[in-house]
Amino acid sequence: MIRKLSTSTENIIEYEVDDTLTEEENKEVLDELKTVINQYGKIKILVRLNEMAGVELSAIDDRLAFTKEHLSDIEKYAIVSDGNLTEYISKLADKMTEMDMRHFAKDEEKIARSWIRD
């Protein structure tokens, strides 16, 4: 399940992800991100990952296509989680793309919000 957090403002979108992310939820989020990109040009994203059981494969494919198409539209991407895999992916994406992506531990969420707003 994914839900938009109330701290989202203008070109800064924040989500919380729990459990399994479905293709339908993923499509809704990507449509919302496209709308915000069309309105503001560049966006900043913060995602709080809680315990996740998995992601539908079609949702992964949709996210990869979106990222490829809109990579230059994402100014900053903060991932807040305690997972080692998300930390590794964040570091790799930050080095391989022009998107500024960083991982923050769950107890660093305030720091992540401050970073995303700078």
% pLDDT > 70, the chain: 76
Asked if residue 106 has pLDDT above 80, the reply is yes
- Tell which wins on pLDDT, 96 or 108: 108
Domains of the chain: 2-117 (3.30.750.24)
Query: pLDDT-derived band of residue 98, with 50, 70 and 90 as boundaries?
Result: low
Look at residue 94 in the predicted model and tell me its pLDDT.
56
Give the 3-state secondary structure percentages of the chain, helix then strand then coil, rounded to 5.
50, 30, 20
Which residues partner with 102 through β-bridges?
78
Look at residue 101 in the predicted model and tell me its pLDDT.
83
- Tell which wins on pLDDT, 83 or 12: 12
Look at residue 95 in the predicted model and tell me its pLDDT.
62
What is the strand order of the sheet 2-4 is part of?
2-4, 12-17, 43-49, 74-80, 100-104
Q: Residues 24-67: pLDDT tens digits?
A: 888 899 999 999 999 999 999 999 988 765 555 566 667 767 87
Match 């900043």 to its residue by tokens.
Answer: 44
Look at residue 32 in the predicted model and tell me its pLDDT.
94
Q: Quick one: which H or E segment has residue 47? A: strand 43-49
- Tell which wins on pLDDT, 82 or 117: 117
% pLDDT > 90, the chain: 40
What residues contact residue 32 under an 8 Å CB cut-off, 6+ apart? 4, 13
